[in-house]
């Protein structure tokens, strides 16, 4: 496959990107003529960037609406409140079998141009046929809600796996103090990856390999977010969406909110979705360079400029193509004439905000299956 006439972020000269197998082979500003290539695609006014890495989601929780209508002091207060106030809504969603919910969670990410998602919780059972579902970590829920977390954290059989744990998700003393407790009990000095870290201080941050920043979820629950402009001096900042229980399905809305905060520069925010998590989770992606996995997103832009403005203005409806490990997983209908070699029987047709996309797998059938269990389930895509 060759992706012709696309602009990389920060470079105004169009380039052509050649992909072979699952990897990027070549990036060139002059035309690439490669006779064996079966799939050249030429774009007009489009930017290209690495498939995003979402470092925090719960794949099976993405059929919930946002639950909560107040500002809470911490996650346990919120949890108790929603189980009391929204019991019926929660039970309705939990009637849907978990594999169907997780499969939707995979599509939720793919539709936004995410090609790697780090799933928190029990292994989802999802394979990597659409995007990479990263689960090579030790998921611990939190200090308050994970039973025997001290024993689990110090399980010598899991010493090589980073421990990923919700921590400091609150605006009170308890949330601050539990971070110290976690650090104290990490006897094996495991690599800790803290999710949320709203209450975290700079001193505490030194004990973490990375922090996953989920600003939209934080503002929804706490009307406050992590001090990432300070924490970044001591640890890596990765970006996460969390599930639709506390945030929008669309990561681009999260990113525009984050950008408005000015806590991270545009470049740091971009890195928190690309090279930063690739390094933290040890993945061969997150960068457009020869030898890297061809996890790529091409987006139509109105201006064809290449600064961060175009990148952060992305909406799912404008995504022209998502490639994952060199395979097309999603494309806009406008590319159909150029994609005549592709086997359309592997794709289904859906509409995102009125724009027709072809997505690998049978998303309409999945939506129908889900509605058998929960007839009023709401999806951000339609089938016609
Ligand atoms: Zn979470």
pLDDT tens for each residue of 96-110: 999 999 999 999 999
Contact 308, 80 (CB under 8 A): no
State the distance from the centre of ligand 1 to the C-alpha of 15, rounded, in angstroms.
38
State the distance from the centre of ligand 1 to the C-alpha of 26, rounded, in angstroms.
38
Q: Which two tokens stand for residue 81?
A: 């409140």
Q: Which strand (E) or helix (H) includes residue 35? A: none
- At residue 307, the pLDDT reads 81
Nearest partner of 282 among 266, 296, 293, 290, judged by Cα = 293
Q: Which whole number is the average pLDDT over 128-146?
A: 97
Q: Which two tokens stand for residue 229?
A: 């402009």
State the distance from the centre of ligand 1 to the C-alpha of 384, rounded, in angstroms.
33
State the distance from the centre of ligand 1 to the C-alpha of 122, rounded, in angstroms.
12
State the distance from the centre of ligand 1 to the C-alpha of 77, rounded, in angstroms.
15
Domain ranges in the chain with CATH number 2.30.40.10 = 2-51+285-373
State the distance from the centre of ligand 1 to the C-alpha of 226, rounded, in angstroms.
14
Q: Which strand (E) or helix (H) includes residue 137? A: none
Tokens 């690309």 found at: 274
SS3 assignment, position 46? strand
State the distance from the centre of ligand 1 to the C-alpha of 212, rounded, in angstroms.
10
**End-to-end Cα, the chain, rounded Å:** 29
Q: Is the pLDDT of residue 37 over 90?
A: no
State the distance from the centre of ligand 1 to the C-alpha of 208, rounded, in angstroms.
17
Q: Which whole number is the average pLDDT over 324-346?
A: 95
pLDDT band at 326 (very low <50, low <70, confident <90, very high): very high
Domain ranges in the chain with CATH number 3.20.20.140 = 53-280
Its pTM surpasses 0.85: yes
pLDDT band at 211 (very low <50, low <70, confident <90, very high): very high
- The count of other CB atoms within 10 Å of the CB of residue 162 is 18
DSSP string, 293-350: B--EEEEE-SS---SHHHHHT--GGGEEEEEETTEEEEEEGGGGGGGTTS-GGGEEEE
State the distance from the centre of ligand 1 to the C-alpha of 106, rounded, in angstroms.
16
State the distance from the centre of ligand 1 to the C-alpha of 286, rounded, in angstroms.
22
State the distance from the centre of ligand 1 to the C-alpha of 240, rounded, in angstroms.
9
State the distance from the centre of ligand 1 to the C-alpha of 56, rounded, in angstroms.
6
- At residue 97, the pLDDT reads 98
Q: Is the pLDDT of residue 12 over 90?
A: no
> Within the chain, what is the greatest distance between any pair of CA atoms?
64
pLDDT band at 299 (very low <50, low <70, confident <90, very high): very high
Q: Which two tokens stand for residue 161?
A: 């796996």
Distance of CA 63 to the CA centre of its chain: 16
State the distance from the centre of ligand 1 to the C-alpha of 142, rounded, in angstroms.
9
pLDDT tens for each residue of 216-274: 999 999 999 999 999 999 999 999 999 999 999 999 999 999 999 999 999 999 999 99
Contact 374, 92 (CB under 8 A): yes
State the distance from the centre of ligand 1 to the C-alpha of 58, rounded, in angstroms.
6
State the distance from the centre of ligand 1 to the C-alpha of 50, rounded, in angstroms.
24
Classify 2-51+285-373 by CATH class.
mainly beta
Q: Is the pLDDT of residue 42 over 80?
A: yes
State the distance from the centre of ligand 1 to the C-alpha of 242, rounded, in angstroms.
5
State the distance from the centre of ligand 1 to the C-alpha of 380, rounded, in angstroms.
21
State the distance from the centre of ligand 1 to the C-alpha of 332, rounded, in angstroms.
31
State the distance from the centre of ligand 1 to the C-alpha of 64, rounded, in angstroms.
13
State the distance from the centre of ligand 1 to the C-alpha of 326, rounded, in angstroms.
30
Average pLDDT, the chain: 96
- At residue 32, the pLDDT reads 82
State the distance from the centre of ligand 1 to the C-alpha of 140, rounded, in angstroms.
10
Classify 53-280 by CATH class.
alpha beta
Angle at 353 between CA 350 and CA 358, to 5 degrees: 25
Give the E-state strand segments of the chain in sequence order: 2-8, 15-20, 23-28, 40-42, 46-50, 52-57, 114-119, 132-134, 138-142, 163-167, 192-196, 210-213, 236-239, 296-300, 319-324, 327-332, 347-352, 355-360
SS3 assignment, position 192? strand
Nearest partner of 320 among 115, 328, 284, 247, judged by Cα = 328
Nearest partner of 188 among 231, 212, 152, judged by Cα = 152
Q: Which strand (E) or helix (H) includes residue 254? A: helix 251-261
Angle subtended by helix axes 363-373 and 98-110, to nearest 10: 140
State the distance from the centre of ligand 1 to the C-alpha of 344, rounded, in angstroms.
36
- Ion ligand 1: residues, CB within 5 A, are 242
State the distance from the centre of ligand 1 to the C-alpha of 315, rounded, in angstroms.
23
- At residue 169, the pLDDT reads 97
d(CA 40, CA 1): 5
SS3 assignment, position 43? coil
State the distance from the centre of ligand 1 to the C-alpha of 118, rounded, in angstroms.
11
Nearest partner of 53 among 140, 132, 136, judged by Cα = 132
Percentage above 90 pLDDT, the chain? 93
State the distance from the centre of ligand 1 to the C-alpha of 245, rounded, in angstroms.
9
Q: Which two tokens stand for residue 16?
A: 């052509």
State the distance from the centre of ligand 1 to the C-alpha of 8, rounded, in angstroms.
32
Q: Is the pLDDT of residue 186 over 80?
A: yes
């Amino acid at each position: 496959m060759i992706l012709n006439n696309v602009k990389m972020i920060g470079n105004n000269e169009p380039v052509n990107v050649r992909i072979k197998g699952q990897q990027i082979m070549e990036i060139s500003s002059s035309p690439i003529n490669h006779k064996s290539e079966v799939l050249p695609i030429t774009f007009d006014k489009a930017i290209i960037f690495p498939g995003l890495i979402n470092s925090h989601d719960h794949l099976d929780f993405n059929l919930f609406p946002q639950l909560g209508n107040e500002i809470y002091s911490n996650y346990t207060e919120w949890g108790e409140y929603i189980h009391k106030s929204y019991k019926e809504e929660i039970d309705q969603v939990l009637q849907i079998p978990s594999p169907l919910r997780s499969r939707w969670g995979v599509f939720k990410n793919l539709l936004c141009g995410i090609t790697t998602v780090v799933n928190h919780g029990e292994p989802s059972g999802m394979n990597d046929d659409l995007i990479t579902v990263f689960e090579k970590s030790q998921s611990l829920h939190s200090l308050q809600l994970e039973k025997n977390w001290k024993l689990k954290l110090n399980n010598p059989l899991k010493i090589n796996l980073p421990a990923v744990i919700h921590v400091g998700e609150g605006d009170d003393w308890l949330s601050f103090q539990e971070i110290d407790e976690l650090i104290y009990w990490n006897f094996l000095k495991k690599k800790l990856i803290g999710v949320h870290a709203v209450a975290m201080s700079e001193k505490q941050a030194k004990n973490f390999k990375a922090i996953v920043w989920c600003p939209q979820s934080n503002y929804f629950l706490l009307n406050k977010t992590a001090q990432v402009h300070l924490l970044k001096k001591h640890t890596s900042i990765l970006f996460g969406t969390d599930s639709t229980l506390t945030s929008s399905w669309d990561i681009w809305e999260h990113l525009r909110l984050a950008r408005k905060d000015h806590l991270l520069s545009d470049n740091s925010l971009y890195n928190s979705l690309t090279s930063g998590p690739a390094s933290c989770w040890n993945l061969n992606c997150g960068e457009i360079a020869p030898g890297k996995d061809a996890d790529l997103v091409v987006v139509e832009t109105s201006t064809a400029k290449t600064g961060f403005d175009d990148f952060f203005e992305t909406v799912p409806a404008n995504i022209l193509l998502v490639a994952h490990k060199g395979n097309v997983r999603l494309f806009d209908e406008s590319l159909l004439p150029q994609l005549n070699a592709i086997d359309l029987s592997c794709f289904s047709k859906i509409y995102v905000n009125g724009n027709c996309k072809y997505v690998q797998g049978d998303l309409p059938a999945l939506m129908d299956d889900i509605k058998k269990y929960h007839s009023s389930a709401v999806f951000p895509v339609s089938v016609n």
